Amino acid sequence: MENLGTLAILLAFCFAVYAVLASLVGRLTKRPFLILSGERAVYSIWVLLTVAAGILIYSLIDGDFRLAYVASHSNRTMSNIYKFTAWWGGQEGSLLLWSWLLATYSSVLVFQNRRKFREMMPYVTAVLMTVETFFLLLISFVEKPFNVLMSGKGVVDVGDGQGLNPLLQYWTMVIHPPMLYLGYVGFTVPFAFAIGSLLTKQ
């Protein structure tokens, strides 16, 4: 499962880079098929990150203590709601949540504007996917959510984890971080439109 999660994130990173290049090259060389393929890459990123997030959430709830992230932020005594909350309880998981939210915003945005702002949208897509690329770069190569615990050359299941930070085991912390992230990530959308508007003078 952890290999599938890692592969999904790596593929999402590749698609994000492609979406940036396809959108810009398609716009500058007036090739609509490249612009369209860049937009479809955005949908692919959302699917891949949904798979990766689903695997991490399943691992947290199921108690897969071979994963370093699960062992660090969950344990067997926690209720399922706090096991789910552990998704954003650590840096690797919160970066995955951030990336998934941005992919969700981007997919909705691209779909809603598939017939509008055609001069501007390639730049909007490129800006959104540039930001996405940055976060995917982090969780692909720096803060990996699917690192496994190793002993020598073998994978170790520690049997139980350290548990979620007690400060996060409160009902408001179930909704507080995601609401903040929705706002923080959401600001990328008007920023992308602002850049697109400046570049096209629309």
The span from the CA of 123 to the CA of 113, in Å, is: 13
Q: Helix, strand, coil proportions of the chain in percent (round to 5)? A: 75, 5, 25
18-31 pLDDT per residue, tens: 999 999 999 999 99
Sign of CA dihedral 87, 90, 92, 96: positive
Averaged over 128-132, what is the pLDDT?
98
In the three-class reduction of DSSP (H, G, I as helix; E, B as strand; rest coil), residue 128 is classed as helix
pTM of the complete model beyond 0.85: yes
Q: Are 125 and 23 in contact (CB under 8 A)?
A: yes
Which residue in this structure is represented by tokens 């067997």? 76
Averaged over 162-183, what is the pLDDT?
87
pLDDT band at residue 171, thresholds of 50, 70 and 90?
Answer: confident
Averaged over 127-155, what is the pLDDT?
91
Q: Are 73 and 164 in contact (CB under 8 A)?
A: yes
The conformation of residue 164, written as its DSSP 8-state character, comes to -
| Percent of the chain at pLDDT exceeding 90 | 80
Terminal Cα-to-Cα distance of the chain (whole angstroms): 46
Length, in residues, of the chain: 202
